[in-house]
Amino acid sequence: MSMPALDIREIPVLLHLGSAAAVEARFFLHQHGRKGREGLLERLNGPEEFLPVRTGDGVRLVARASIAWMESTDPERESETDDEPDLLATPIGLGVNLRTGHRIEGAIQVLLPDNRNRLLDFLNLKERFFPIALEGRTAVVNKDWIESVEPLSEHI
């Protein structure tokens, strides 16, 4: 039996599934997550293997592992806590080369302990998806689709 999901909101994304052409879609997020409104990263880094998205054809259940990356002009920012004094946010510029042949250049905000705030430390975190700030939009990248990453000196 299917119950309507009344506490769901949709955010528009440009979805890149592997090497296929990008698809305009709307990603479903819960109004109530662990820390208030569910964010895009919370949803993508959650336990579900399949996620519903709305496309021009209707609703599809997309394997989370097949999402190489997505773009959004209205990103859901993860909240940063001020109650951990040993953490500092460091912006790092990077170029990401994906297995799809795409290259994404932008900046990330690294929020890690002082002695482990390198790009390498960030990339080795357990979360599979992370945001890259671009001009006027955000790319959310799946680490499993990354071929290589290069730090960009102008952002360091």
The 3-state DSSP class for residue 65 equals helix
Q: What is the pLDDT along the chain (156 residues), one digit of tens a residue?
A: 344 556 889 999 999 998 788 999 999 998 876 667 888 999 999 999 999 999 998 999 999 999 999 999 864 544 333 444 444 566 789 999 999 999 999 999 877 666 776 788 889 989 999 999 998 899 999 999 999 999 986 544
Q: Where are the domains of the chain?
A: 8-69, 87-155
| Amino acid at position 66, single letter | S
Phi, psi of 70 (to 5 degrees): -145, 155
pLDDT tens, 91-123?
789 999 999 999 999 999 877 666 776 788 889
Structure tokens at 108: 């990330």
Say if CB 48 and CB 64 are below 8 A apart: yes
Give 129-153 as a DSSP string: EEEEE-SSSEEEEEGGGEEEEEE-G
Task: Assign domain 87-155 to its CATH architecture.
Answer: Roll (2.30)
Q: What is the pLDDT of residue 23?
A: 94
SS percent in the chain: helix, strand, coil, step 5:
15, 50, 35
Say if CB 66 and CB 79 are below 8 A apart: no
